Chains A and B, each alone.
Chain A
Amino acid sequence: MVMIVGTCKLRRVISVDTGSKVNDDSQLVARACHDSTAFVQLYHSHYDAVFRYCVHRLFDRQMAEDVTSEVFLKVIENIDGFKGNEKQFRCWLYRIATNTVNNYLRKTARRKRILKVACEQTNSRFADCEEPADKLALLREAVFTLKPRYQTIITLRFFENMKLTEIAEVLGSSPGTVRSQLTRALVKLRKVLTAEFTEKSEVN
């Protein structure tokens, strides 16, 4: 068994050196392939962002948790093939999350079920607060009418507040293409949301 002889005379607090966080971040991804402690650090740095992105794509917490789990399992399976820094890792992570969400939504039945469940939840949860509920339901329905790629762009742009260059990096596309796809997505959304926009314009 383990032999530790001697009195406990030195207590030492060992913690991650926050002063060298920048350097740590650049090497964290490489270390995470082999070192579970490094992976845990990386996981904690990105869990919230991935979860939020999934919620914003799926409009459902439970499904978002399932997809988030799947995303990080894919990260474990593929991280040793990833070469890049922390920023590139973030893009890579969003790319995995996007593909996982799209796969999740791909099956029509599942998509319809998500829409139905989400609408029911919204209607019951916000029964006393009609306006936000209406808007959320309207947004959800409108977003789900878009192609998965357009949904991704809308979510990254308006919920994750990403620049076009960042979205382009996530999607492996050019900023110009993303710009035109964003425009098309907004045009389509506008048709569904016309009433809301009109109302807002009148208020303004």
Chain B
Amino acid sequence: MNDNEKQFKDFVSNIKLDDTPDTNHRDMLERNLLCAMAKQSRQIKIRRFIMKSQITKFAAAAVIAIVVLGGITFWPGGGSDNGQWWLGPPAAWGQEILASLDTFKAVTCHEQTVFVMSDGSEHTSLTWNILYVSRDSYRRDIYDDDFLREIQWYVPDGGGTLHHSIRYDTKSYFTHSGEGSFGNYDPVERMRSCVSRLDSADRLLGEEVIDGYNCVGFEISADNSEDRVDCIWFDTETKLPVRIEIRGLSVTDQPDKTLTIIQDQFDYNPGLSADTFIPQTPEGFIHAHPDEIKAATEK
């Protein structure tokens, strides 16, 4: 540092400028960023993948050109009976789908709950989840609107399952080890259940475009006494599930409304890092049982 710099450095060092970060802004921005990350990651990934590779750029351009100029429908079943595989016996193509599901190391999806009132009106819950599923581990990121409220992990622990959760709203965590599973949240198990019952599907819901994919849907009554109905849509090109809806779930103590759980935005083999399923606790978080949090919240 020469004399000029030293002189200026001395001058600057005597000036008081309040540059202490505000923790409120830091926390608020953190929540906004996590929400933005969850919402945008999939779209960005697809766009970047196409635009960064020379081959995919040409492929995308070629597809657009041919579709626009030639008016050729690429999707199976779009104009030819031969492409409509779903009209064949489900026992055959259902097995193919089940076999495909077995090959995936990980699947992620978005989950949303919708309340259906007695007059048929719908109210979408502000709470939504991102689910991560591997062959033996699970993770659920729970959002309240734009705020990442909680992360839950279900990972193998000896002969049982370790359930670890962290809550950003209360800055707390809870760890529990014992028997148990991810239960009904597991979207892959839900897919398997639907596919295995396609033989007894009530009706074909027809073709529609969901999240940009040409899909075909089926409605299947559940195997229980409830009025529950499962609906599943498959990508007509890959035969993989694109959306699952569980309709008609009863709400405790509220007979005038039912629940619909929607799982969509499936990402198959999304290339998750290994530590996605490693439970972590941010520094400074305190140990608290969920009942304690509930009691504190109710107060």
B162 closest partner in A (C-beta)? A12
**When chains A and B are docked, how far (Å) is the Cα of A139 from the Cα of B276?**
47
- Interface size of B by CB at 8 A reads 64
Cβ-defined contact, A158 with B36, below 8 A: no
The answer to whether the Cβ of A173 comes within 8 Å of any Cβ in the partner chain is: no
Given contacts A31-B275, A76-B40, contact A186 B8 (CB under 8 A): yes
User: Which residues of chain B (268-299) have a CB below 8 Å from chain A?
Assistant: 270-273, 275-276, 279-283, 287
Inside 8 A of B209's CB, which chain A residues have their CB?
Answer: none
Cβ-defined contact, A6 with B178, below 8 A: yes
B130 closest partner in A (C-beta)? A36
**When chains A and B are docked, how far (Å) is the Cα of A6 from the Cα of B270?**
33
Inside 8 A of B45's CB, which chain A residues have their CB?
Answer: 80
The answer to whether the Cβ of A104 comes within 8 Å of any Cβ in the partner chain is: no
- Give the shortest distance, in Å, between A196 (CB) and chain B (any CB): 6
A24 closest partner in B (C-beta)? B275
**When chains A and B are docked, how far (Å) is the Cα of A173 from the Cα of B178?**
57
Inside 8 A of B282's CB, which chain A residues have their CB?
Answer: 16, 37, 40
Cβ-defined contact, B37 with A36, below 8 A: yes
Cβ-defined contact, B38 with A36, below 8 A: yes
Cβ-defined contact, B281 with A43, below 8 A: no
The answer to whether the Cβ of B17 comes within 8 Å of any Cβ in the partner chain is: yes
Cβ-defined contact, A36 with B148, below 8 A: yes
Cβ-defined contact, B272 with A15, below 8 A: no
- Give the shortest distance, in Å, between B155 (CB) and chain A (any CB): 10
**When chains A and B are docked, how far (Å) is the Cα of A181 from the Cα of B163?**
57
User: Which residues of chain A (152-169) have a CB below 8 Å from chain B?
Assistant: 157-159
- Give the shortest distance, in Å, between A135 (CB) and chain B (any CB): 5
Cβ-defined contact, B14 with A132, below 8 A: yes
Stretch at the interface among A54-62, A84-92, A95-103: A54-62
Cβ-defined contact, A59 with B17, below 8 A: yes
**When chains A and B are docked, how far (Å) is the Cα of A159 from the Cα of B151?**
38
| Tally of contacts, chain A with chain B, CB under 8 A | 165
Inside 8 A of A193's CB, which chain B residues have their CB?
Answer: 8, 11
- Interface size of A by CB at 8 A reads 61
The answer to whether the Cβ of B10 comes within 8 Å of any Cβ in the partner chain is: yes
**When chains A and B are docked, how far (Å) is the Cα of A164 from the Cα of B276?**
38
- Do most interface residues of chain A lie in helix, strand or loop, or is the interface mixed? helix
- Give the shortest distance, in Å, between A48 (CB) and chain B (any CB): 5
**When chains A and B are docked, how far (Å) is the Cα of A31 from the Cα of B276?**
9
Cβ-defined contact, B280 with A69, below 8 A: no
**When chains A and B are docked, how far (Å) is the Cα of A47 from the Cα of B182?**
35
- Give the shortest distance, in Å, between A177 (CB) and chain B (any CB): 16
Cβ-defined contact, A65 with B22, below 8 A: yes
- Give the shortest distance, in Å, between A189 (CB) and chain B (any CB): 7
Interface residues of A (CB under 8 A from B): 1-16, 30-31, 34-40, 43-44, 47-48, 51-52, 55-56, 59, 61, 65, 68-69, 72-73, 76-77, 80-81, 132, 135-136, 139, 157-159, 182-183, 186-187, 189-190, 193, 196-197, 200
Interface residues of B (CB under 8 A from A): 4-5, 7-12, 14-19, 21-22, 25-26, 29-30, 32-34, 36-38, 40-41, 44-45, 48, 52, 141, 148, 151, 160-164, 173, 175-185, 270-273, 275-276, 279-283, 287
Extra inter-chain contacts (16) besides given A2-B184, A4-B179, A9-B177, CB under 8 Å: A1-B184, A14-B280, A34-B273, A35-B276, A36-B34, A38-B275, A51-B26, A59-B17, A61-B18, A61-B22, A69-B29, A72-B29, A72-B33, A135-B15, A136-B16, A200-B10
